[in-house]
Amino acid sequence: MLIYLYLFAFGLGGVLLLGSILIGDKDGGSDGGDGGTQAEHFDHGVGEDHGAVAGLFTAFFSLRFWMFFLAFFGLTGLVLDGLDLVDSPTFALVAAVAMGLLTGQGTVAVFRSLSHSETSTAASAADYIGRSGRVMVGFGAGDLGKVRLTLKGTTVDVLATTEEERGFSSGDEALVIAMNDTTAVVARAPGV
């Protein structure tokens, strides 16, 4: 009798998982401007400000939890009870619930961890300061020019200005001493 419950749960969970894989986030990765991710769409209503114990209970409000719970609850029940691998249907039910809870909670925890990790290699304003580069477009005091720098293994061109009376010519070496938004304030490199 429980075999029908396992079959239904496995079928529903499998369809939901397959649908989420195939359909995914078809809007080109846009997060709607609110800084959210696709993981937050599946985990709506689950805040990050909860502790570890509270996070276990808030996972029950996650669609991702229920997809994995249903799929693995049903699969475990089908394998154990459907193939008669255990003698007791009660043991198969307990094992299926435990497997569903474990995979559901584990999946939510993994996706939360992945969605909140920062692996950005984008350069910040502090990364520019102290770097020297080659002037690409000459400029004088108060004018804008262009300096080519190497940051984090990437060559970038940045607008530059200087407060020095003597201007910079194309090919000169310049040292970034400050950043004003996206414009570098440069000075002569030491020894030049």
The whole domain housing 136 covers 125-188
What value does the mean pLDDT take over residues 19-30?
A: 63
Number of domain units in the chain: 2
pLDDT tens-place string over residues 67-112:
888 899 999 998 998 888 888 889 989 999 999 889 888 888 888 7
Of 75, 72, 176, the C-alpha closest to 130 is 176
Q: Final residue of a domain: which of 116, 149, 174?
A: 116
Question: Same domain for 93 and 148?
Answer: no
Q: Final residue of a domain: which of 69, 88, 116?
A: 116
As given in the structure block, the two tokens for residue 136 are 């690409």
pLDDT tens-place string over residues 119-162:
556 677 788 888 899 999 989 888 899 999 988 778 889 999 99
As given in the structure block, the two tokens for residue 101 are 């809870």
Question: Same domain for 8 and 89?
Answer: yes
**pLDDT for the residue numbered 82:** 84
Q: Final residue of a domain: which of 85, 116, 147?
A: 116
Q: CATH no. for residue 156? A: 2.40.50.140
CA gap 79, 165 in Å, rounded: 80
Question: Same domain for 135 and 110?
Answer: no
Prediction pTM value: 0.48
Task: Specify the 3-state DSSP secondary structure of 135.
Answer: strand
Residue 127 contacts by C-beta under 8 Å, 6 or more apart in sequence? 151, 152
- Cα–Cα distances (Å) from 56 to 66, 76, 102, 103, 163, in that order, read 13, 22, 11, 12, 57
Task: Specify the 3-state DSSP secondary structure of 64.
Answer: helix
Question: Same domain for 112 and 164?
Answer: no
Question: Same domain for 65 and 137?
Answer: no
Question: Same domain for 102 and 16?
Answer: yes
Question: Same domain for 78 and 23?
Answer: yes
- Cα–Cα distances (Å) from 106 to 25, 30, 55, 72, 183, in that order, read 22, 26, 11, 12, 46
Of 10, 23, 191, 190, the C-alpha closest to 100 is 10
Question: Same domain for 103 and 140?
Answer: no
